[in-house]
Amino acid sequence: MDLMVNRRIAIIPARGGSKRIPEKNIIDFAGKPMIAWSIEAALKSNLFDRVIVSTDDIKIADIAKQWGAEVPFLRKECADDYSTVSEATTSALTQAMNFWHEDYTTVVQLMANCPLRTSNDIQQATHQFDRQHRRFQISCFKYGWMNPWWAVKLNENNCPEKLFPDALDKRSQDLPELYCPTGAIWIAAAQDLLKHNTFYGPDHTFEPISWESAVDIDDFNDLAFAKSVLLNVQNYSITVDQ
């Protein structure tokens, strides 16, 4: 296979048959199919030798091509409800290598249900991955007004069971900051991903992005929230430009 220094491939996993939001990956989001936002961000970043969509669905494939992604093949494996997204991306990486007879240095996974992640987010995350010589990097965001240190479980009588009982006696500003992973931007050294079949490989790191860019859309509540966030971001940009 041909080897090119720093050859990067972006893989956007987009399985058909979503249940909580039917056709979630191509549902309208602010005037575009949801997957279009990830395709455009990847292309605008100017980082990738190839931007491909990995899907088992012909309709998704056709729409992805219309927005500039390559879809030279449909997903052969990991199109069920049980395979992890890392496994699906690893499978797509192998298919791409065999299809084009190319090797890749870095693979960047961009989930289609994270439409608010921008080309600038991708550039910054990739820069950190390269600069720190990382093998696996997963995007995350810092918890804000929700303080997970004060989380409880409720029993059938609504009595709380404290998950972190010692933290409830402390002020929020005295507690360590906590972070949550998001599917927005996952990066791996290609050969390491092929070896371990997961982005949570040895010595994986988390890289923070803004909570706005980190929004994952899994159900209709998430969808409404993401649209509100986008509107707020757009209004803020207009105000700043003026």
Name which CATH class applies to 8-141+179-241: alpha beta
pLDDT tens across 64-101, in order? 999 999 999 998 776 666 689 999 999 999 999 999 99
Give residue 80's pLDDT. Answer: 65
Q: Both ends of the chain: CA-CA distance in Å?
A: 52
Q: Six-digit token pair at 132?
A: 């720190």
Strand order in the sheet with 8-13: 50-54, 8-13, 106-109, 179-189, 136-142, 205-208
Band (121; pLDDT cuts 50, 70, 90): very high
Give residue 79's pLDDT. Answer: 64
Give residue 62's pLDDT. Answer: 98
Residue 232: name the closest of 112, 116, 111 by CA.
116
Instruction: Yes or no: say if 78 and 87 are a contact pair by the CB < 8 Å rule.
Output: yes
Residue 241 has pLDDT above 70, yes or no: no
pLDDT tens across 167-186, in order? 988 888 899 999 999 999 99
Residue 237 has pLDDT above 80, yes or no: no
Largest CA distance in the chain: 64
Domain extents in the chain: 8-141+179-241, 144-177
CA 180 – CA 115 distance, rounded (Å): 18
Q: Can you give the pTM of this predicted structure?
A: 0.91
